[in-house]
Amino acid sequence: MFKVGSIFIPVTDLARSKKWYELNLGAIKVDEWQEDGMDHGVGYVFKGDSTGLALIKVDKVQPTEFAIKGKRKNVYYNFVVDDIEPAYNQLKQNGVETSDIHDYGLMKGFDFYDPDGNAFSVVSEEKDSPYHQDNIKKAIQK
């Protein structure tokens, strides 16, 4: 019944961020809006997916992560790729700040940062992972 419609990302420079998300993540622009000078944003989707990603213009940087314990943080959401190496290499070649790739057994992942310092992670699930797309489809059919 429910599914994620859109994810909203706060950005301070909408023009810069539009170029960055289109270049680095392959985001496909669907719409851009501005309401009475109060709300300015751009909506995107990714090829083969209907979940939206919207960049919303804000006056100051706002976090896209939360504290777990002590200084350890977690992002609110991540991006999924079939093969982590090409995604990592593309971001590195474009000069995007990233962490190293970490192998968690059934999942590999790394973090990266947009021009506002917004933190995100990229993950790739192994075939045996309960979160691999094939296993998710099976779970949904039950």
Distance CA 49, CA 112 (A): 21
Q: Whole domain around residue 118: which residue ranges?
A: 63-142
Between 142 and 88, the higher pLDDT residue: 88
Looking at the structure, do residues 113 and 136 belong to the same domain, yes or no?
A: yes
Residue 129's pLDDT is: 86
Residue 12's CATH number: 3.10.180.10
Listed range (45-49, 90-94, 127-131) with the worst mean pLDDT: 127-131
* Contact residues for 30 (Cβ-Cβ < 8 A; gap 6+): 43, 44, 45, 52
Per-residue pLDDT tens for 95-131?
Answer: 999 999 999 999 999 999 999 999 999 999 988 888 8
Same domain membership, residue 72 and residue 55: no
- Does residue 70 share a domain with residue 29? no
Domain match, 5 and 43 both:
yes
Asked if residue 83 and residue 138 are part of one domain, the reply reads yes
Mean pLDDT in residue range 3-25: 96
